[in-house]
Structure 1
């Protein structure tokens, strides 16, 4: 085996020259593993020697060149800092993983042993004092590196973000994450979707273990939070091709549901390669629909979707996609690795020149593909039409190809270099207190073994040049957070990332994500901002969701709330009833307080009923006055004056007791009004019954030798009134002693009103009172009807018949009317029934007599009575 010092390579029979490396010597070395280039490896079909099938020109991911430059910048900055590792020079050795497992193993071993023959534990050439390795960008590269580095306990600081649930199986004490694990991103994504009400989303992942785990965990969390995936697509990793046609057929893999879906929010998880493939899909669709290439414009094919990317993804394009417009991704929201600008970094980038840079094996391919030119050298012809002048500036490149501001991955690399340097500085500072310094006062860093740094790395804590604290937690993960950025694109295919929020791991659940919505710039083709991403329109307040059979729960119909129920938010699963004292408004989206009502003295209905009660009371009192004044006249004496007075007084009290039903119910009014009405009315009806029976008995007693003669007189009438009234008094006494009426609130009968009413206490006793009055009325009507044709000039039977007919009609109508009304109108019906039935008795019985007494006094004589009787 022969070692060549100029390339630091060991060449054997099977060796292939890999130029992508950058070596800078130093007392101690920091290794780096970049993902700068992508070689296309064909399938091995044994038709020719495998080494001859490798494509010699790699596809350079130009944007990732910043990762390499950041490591070099950080090392040079440390070498200029006298406060850290004084008198010790840091060096670095950076290799490329080529995003390929075979090449990752090869370059990792080359980093350790400078050998391409894979001889373990053999170091070729200059002694290499490697203290740690920074890399890789993705999970696969990091895990492959860890398989080798963990054997030698060499600290590995990964600058890519990936899930801890996937990495746990390969985690070793030598492995450190320069970014937080992705588990917290699930919560951030869910909170972001909930913030904007996006419930119908698309999911795109790469086809590997990390992608499958992402789908498994995220979809369960989405389901728990009422969010559905409209589609789920995986992007296969492409490592091998059989031809250039196969390259394009696989690279432009189409996802049919992506652009046609109603899901306006699409979550993308994977590596930066996922964005390039997505851009290829959109570009291919635009080209397939093209009829005239001169009329081609990517702007016409913008999707107008909100792309949500996770921390591992960066918006990067390759030279194959120069015609792709980044405006397609305008307004994208990204969870990015936290970053801050570092002083002098942009100046470092601006001074970069491929013609003056020595030792950088990456810059040639980068410069040629980034600026589409050719750098002449001794191995290739110089008569190229367009050669690189070295005057090209990195700041002229669009952001998808290179960014001048430090990206999140670069910031992680910067912090990783400083973490190794501070750990080494802390270890040397501790040693200097116990060890005599030899060799002209210089420590011998080449005597340091990498495994000795672990105890210092695990407890390291320092502030970087951006004044941010850098420390690891117990799991070897950097204690930090994520930024939420918004992609703002420009017509020249460049963009800027505007920070619009942050994901703080230390914040309590539900508050980890903060969003500055006013800073977000949405895609210009969106017709609504913020946009909606729903399977169907929201169910507005006043309706509830009804699930569609056979579809996901995010797809539903909207049904109006049933009567008496409301929904006060969008997309409620069910309607709810209002609390007591409230009722739904017209559109059933909120509850409003009910109005307290009762039959008051101030309202028109109450005033009318009071007027009628007082008017009839006045009439009754006037009639009573007439009868008292004319008490000695034949017509008054012939109709039993005492019963007449009792009846008139009872009617007067009936009219007045109706006033107890008007006004806000009080305990005393509720206690008195129904029993008082029942007893007084029973007395009035009993008086009518007594008058009717008296007429019948008087007619029967007028016949000689009749047995009814002994019943004549006031005793019979008074006995009837007293006994009938006593029964009603007994019923009321039982009612008041067992379940008396009381003030109550009826909140349910009327939707918008609370009725202040008197609860009857016992409805059975109330109807007993009404039933007993009805019984007396029917008996009076029956007796009066039979005696209506008796030959008596002053016979009241016919008038009592009419009065009882009116009375029974009123109260028979009262029962169904009373039961069918609600609120204060129930009271009004009862008052009207009292007034109508009382007025019927007053009118039918006393109006003929008053007519005779007042207007025809000539008929109110004894001679007239005797004459008519004889006739």
Structure 2
């Protein structure tokens, strides 16, 4: 402060011909002492700043620079606020001081802790730390600062395992309790929003019994304190610090100390005697030698002479210049030629307060201005404690935080960082490991949100991000892969010709059709023989034709369903089977009518001759055609994707359209089959040639048995097996008919031709 005031007093541009006076007080880091100092300043009981005719005022305070702590600044502000005396602090960072309702006269050249808290939260988030410990000073600085940090950390999804506080004046037992909490914790990272004096007593306790390796994250209150850097367990600490600065001429000013200046100041005297281990005043009880004048401060190496890490120092420098600019703007007028200042004008602090709100200048390349809350633009350097090859811990700048940049671009960091225990890999500090793809987080009961279990996604759902809070279902036609981190189209399943089952069924279908054709050929070749003529050859050929169609219609059930195939397969099946059953029914009725015709006086056969048989077949078949036509017109079968039977695949099948139409077709076939079966049973013991009624009975018994078992099998079979069951029922019933009715006759025709004669028939 003295250096800055002397610079201003020697300046020809800032406050020319006006000298600034000052008085320095020590608040002793005490709220009571700070309040007492404030009253002394306001009461004007101190001596005038400068005696002589050049001093136009007698000690009236224009502004106050200080204090270094937030608590003391709050006390000072409350005392001097009614008098409108501006207070410019260089180190009070509490976010509460931005409240202009409570602190209308307070300004500061150091950023608010709100910015620091945001920067620290972003720093922690940047390195993936979600499980941290927190230590703070039991003061306004620590309490408000940690509250701001925890709010920012919560927004970033960071959890705090513990939060402890201390003061350097606390009893040793409390310091030990705080140290034990840190020692026993599972959090690798410790964020310390604490004053350097408070942290020093904690580090002394750790020096006695070191904790497990911890990555320390520091606030600007201690991260640049050279006295703390000697503790080896803190190597690798990283934190935010005020921007490193250069003040030209300050080092020379500090080293320009004469013995007279030293002796005139109690502070400098204490410093001198401590630095050189000698005494300026003869005091034989002290045990120190007397200073002989050969002490050279230029050769001294200690924090006083080290100006390479000027940070807070520059905040004091800015504060003094801000007040000087406010006074300049209040009493001086700029002209084209020179600057004219009114030395005789009587200033009051309220005018300085008004002008201080408007200052905006740059000194040594560092801008100075205040926003509506009295705060400067926040800019922090990211500092890392790195050990040099010589083993000395040094402060290394590894990034910065600039609140003036657009949102999301404020934070910049490089990776040239040394971590705890001189490691090069970023430490891990999480309550639970990250959940991999294909799983989601489930919070552990009674614990913070950062503590969770990783549960695999349920069936049909995926998560394709790490630490996903939940899983999302795949679209209806997609299904997760084995890892459940991606959705893939479900495989489409239908009874394809590429499958063994379809090939077998198709082979039986074609074989059955060929068998029917061969049988028809045999019958046609032997059409004049008694066995063919005696068994209604016309209905036999029509039955063989319908059986051929029955065998072939099963092929329409194989392959990918389409609009035409869905309509064709059900209607073709319904019509061909009715044609087949109608023929069998006609043959059965012929047997019954033939027996009736042998009775005396009966002329039944003239009512059921070949024309009537053909008409009956056409009539029964026409009814089925009408049923199928109505079904197709009102609600025909159509291809559909069945997504419900199997979750992991799509069944491509034919929807019935109208279930009533489908069961009407089946019901009509069943009705004819039962009717035919009843008639065949009635005729099974009649003296039929070659026992055709008995053969029809067996065939219809097989037919009815197949279709009765088909219904539950059809309903319960999943997917493509539904189609396979339907094909099997068609083939089984068709083979039952052709084998039961025609096989014995073909056997006689081919292998027992002697029985295929009129004589044998008449004997029968």
Q: Same fold (TM over 0.5)?
A: yes
CA distance in 1, matches of 2:364, 2:393: 28
Note the alpha carbon deviations across 1:449-472, whole angstroms, 9 max, x for none. Answer: 443233332222223323x54322
- 2:189 is aligned to 265
Contact 1:814–1:830 (CA under 8 A) maintained in structure 2: yes
CA distance in 1, matches of 2:28, 2:173: 21
- 2:240 is aligned to 335
The structure 2 residue matched to 1:201, chosen from 129, 132, 139, is: 132
In the comparison of the two structures, how many residue pairs are matched? 754
Matching of residues 164-313 of structure 1 within 5 Å: 164-165=95-96, 168=99, 171-209=102-140, 211-213=142-144, 219=150, 226-236=157-167, 238=169, 254-284=178-208, 286=209, 301-313=210-222
- 1:316 is aligned to 225
The structure 2 residue matched to 1:655, chosen from 525, 531, 551, is: 551
- 1:420 is aligned to 323
- 2:692 is aligned to 796
Are positions 1:735 and 2:665 aligned together? Answer: no
Q: Once structures 1 and 2 are overlaid, which stretch shifts more, 815-824 or 579-588?
A: 815-824
Q: Per the alignment, in what secondary structure is the counterpart of residue 476 of structure 2?
A: coil
CA distance in 1, matches of 2:566, 2:256: 99
CA distance in 2, matches of 1:230, 1:786: 91
Note the alpha carbon deviations across 1:376-401, whole angstroms, 9 max, x for none. Answer: 2024349637989755779955x8x9
Q: CA deviation at 1:495?
A: 2.9
Q: Per the alignment, in what secondary structure is the counterpart of residue 420 of structure 2?
A: coil
Q: Per the alignment, in what secondary structure is the counterpart of residue 663 of structure 1?
A: coil
Note the alpha carbon deviations across 1:116-144, whole angstroms, 9 max, x for none. Answer: xx765875863447543322222111112
CA distance in 2, matches of 1:564, 1:602: 29
CA pair 475-216 structure 1, distance change in 2 beyond 3 A: closer
CA pair 334-853 structure 1, distance change in 2 beyond 3 A: same
Q: CA deviation at 1:688?
A: 2.5
Gap regions ≥5 residues in structure 2:
52-57
CA distance in 2, matches of 1:595, 1:395: 82
Gap regions ≥5 residues in structure 1:
1-70, 240-245, 287-300
Note the alpha carbon deviations across 1:790-846, whole angstroms, 9 max, x for none. Answer: 443433334334433443444444444444444444334433433343333333333
Q: Once structures 1 and 2 are overlaid, which stretch shifts more, 637-646 or 793-802?
A: 793-802
Contact 1:740–1:762 (CA under 8 A) maintained in structure 2: yes
Contact 2:119–2:411 (CA under 8 A) maintained in structure 1: no
CA pair 764-226 structure 1, distance change in 2 beyond 3 A: farther
Matching of residues 352-363 of structure 1 within 5 Å: 358=262, 362-363=267-268
CA distance in 1, matches of 2:486, 2:307: 54
Note the alpha carbon deviations across 1:78-98, whole angstroms, 9 max, x for none. Answer: 567655445555565443322
Q: CA deviation at 1:363?
A: 4.5
Q: CA deviation at 1:592?
A: 2.4
Contact 1:350–1:395 (CA under 8 A) maintained in structure 2: no
Q: Per the alignment, in what secondary structure is the counterpart of residue 846 of structure 1?
A: helix
- 1:486 is aligned to 384
Contact 1:327–1:493 (CA under 8 A) maintained in structure 2: no
Q: CA deviation at 1:613?
A: 3.4
Matching of residues 80-95 of structure 1 within 5 Å: 83-86=13-16, 88=18, 93-95=23-25
The structure 2 residue matched to 1:460, chosen from 348, 352, 359, is: 359
CA pair 209-161 structure 1, distance change in 2 beyond 3 A: closer
Note the alpha carbon deviations across 1:259-290, whole angstroms, 9 max, x for none. Answer: 21112233322433342233133224x1xxxx
CA distance in 1, matches of 2:2, 2:339: 32
Contact 1:368–1:374 (CA under 8 A) maintained in structure 2: yes
CA pair 72-676 structure 1, distance change in 2 beyond 3 A: farther
- 2:524 is aligned to 628
- 2:350 is aligned to 451
- 2:55 is aligned to none
CA distance in 2, matches of 1:743, 1:218: 62
- 1:135 is aligned to 66
Contact 1:728–1:772 (CA under 8 A) maintained in structure 2: yes
CA distance in 2, matches of 1:361, 1:624: 134
Q: CA deviation at 1:476?
A: 1.6
Are positions 1:498 and 2:397 aligned together? Answer: yes
- 1:374 is aligned to 277
CA distance in 2, matches of 1:395, 1:685: 121
Q: CA deviation at 1:325?
A: 4.8
Note the alpha carbon deviations across 1:350-387, whole angstroms, 9 max, x for none. Answer: 95778696566545545666x6x514202434963798
Contact 1:265–1:533 (CA under 8 A) maintained in structure 2: no
The alignment yields a C-alpha RMSD, in angstroms, of 4.0
Q: CA deviation at 1:224?
A: 6.2
Contact 2:87–2:107 (CA under 8 A) maintained in structure 1: yes
TM-score by length of 1: 0.76
CA distance in 2, matches of 1:310, 1:762: 76
The structure 2 residue matched to 1:679, chosen from 532, 555, 575, is: 575
Q: Per the alignment, in what secondary structure is the counterpart of residue 532 of structure 1?
A: coil
CA distance in 1, matches of 2:591, 2:258: 137
The structure 2 residue matched to 1:640, chosen from 519, 536, 548, is: 536
CA distance in 1, matches of 2:381, 2:108: 17
CA pair 831-105 structure 1, distance change in 2 beyond 3 A: same
- 2:33 is aligned to 103
Are positions 1:471 and 2:369 aligned together? Answer: yes
CA pair 450-761 structure 1, distance change in 2 beyond 3 A: same
CA distance in 1, matches of 2:426, 2:612: 93
TM-score by length of 2: 0.85
CA pair 786-121 structure 1, distance change in 2 beyond 3 A: farther
Are positions 1:532 and 2:429 aligned together? Answer: yes
Q: Per the alignment, in what secondary structure is the counterpart of residue 641 of structure 2?
A: strand
Q: CA deviation at 1:551?
A: 4.0
- 2:655 is aligned to 759
Q: Per the alignment, in what secondary structure is the counterpart of residue 463 of structure 1?
A: strand
CA pair 788-482 structure 1, distance change in 2 beyond 3 A: farther
The structure 2 residue matched to 1:862, chosen from 735, 740, 758, is: 758
CA distance in 2, matches of 1:179, 1:492: 32
CA distance in 2, matches of 1:549, 1:109: 55
CA pair 682-532 structure 1, distance change in 2 beyond 3 A: farther
CA distance in 2, matches of 1:76, 1:435: 21
Are positions 1:516 and 2:440 aligned together? Answer: no
- 2:54 is aligned to none
Q: Per the alignment, in what secondary structure is the counterpart of residue 650 of structure 1?
A: helix
- 1:46 is aligned to none
Contact 1:578–1:591 (CA under 8 A) maintained in structure 2: yes
Note the alpha carbon deviations across 1:158-211, whole angstroms, 9 max, x for none. Answer: 122534346538744321122333334454454444444433332323334555
